[in-house]
Amino acid sequence: MNESINSNFENGDGEMLRIIP
Model pLDDT for residues 1-21, shown as the tens digit of each residue: 455 555 555 555 555 566 655
Predicted local confidence at residue 6, as pLDDT: 55
Residue 5 sits at φ, ψ, to 5 deg, of -65, -40
In DSSP notation, 1-21 reads -HHHHHHHHHHTSSHHHHH--
Predicted local confidence at residue 3, as pLDDT: 56
CA dist., res. 21 & res. 12, Å (int): 17
Residue pair 16/8 in contact (Cβ under 8 Å)? The answer is yes
Is the pTM higher than 0.75? The answer reads no
